[in-house]
Amino acid sequence: MRQLIVLITCMIAIISCKDAPKETNATNTNEQLIQTYYQHFNQHDWQKMADMYTDSAAFKDPSLGTGIVMQTKAQIVEKYKGLNDMFPNIKDSVVAIYPSGKQQVIVEFVSTGTGVDKSTFTLPICTIFTIENGKITKDFTYYDNF
């Protein structure tokens, strides 16, 4: 009887371990996707960055208003080109990436830049990305905009 209990316990442990890599693989893939996203941002490659989103993605961003706004890839490119025109050396420095489940990745970062008028800014930001089928479907960004 004791051997049967040990055998069942080992089988449960093996089965549990088999399931774990699926979530880990999704988490690692999503984390890598987001790291690539910030590389594109810092290279000011707005088209490559926009291509990481679905054709129409949900945004929650104080710069777009108070609610959720759907944005196309073209609108994403336009938004970031405009930001880049105001701050030619804009850069995001990732502080930490926090995978959250199979679809969300939370990123804490600091955005910095110098305006064409030589004014500078440093802004701590937090973004929650939702990723489905290798594309960003939601981009919920939070920062102090007062």
| pLDDT tens for the chain, residues 1 to 146 | 555 443 444 345 444 445 444 456 767 899 999 999 999 999 999 999 999 999 999 999 998 888 999 999 999 999 999 999 999 999 999 999 999 999 999 999 999 999 999 999 999 999 999 999 999 999 999 998 76
Roughly how many angstroms between the first and final C-alpha of the chain, as a whole number? 68
b/e for 15-54, b at 16 or more Cβ within 10 A? eeeeeeeeeeeebeebbebbeebbebbeebebeebbebbb
Structural tokens at position 68: 């959720």
2-142 has which CATH code?
3.10.450.50
DSSP H or E run through 41: helix 2-42
Regarding pTM above 0.85, the answer is no
Task: Dihedral sign for Cα 134, 135, 138, 140, please.
Answer: positive
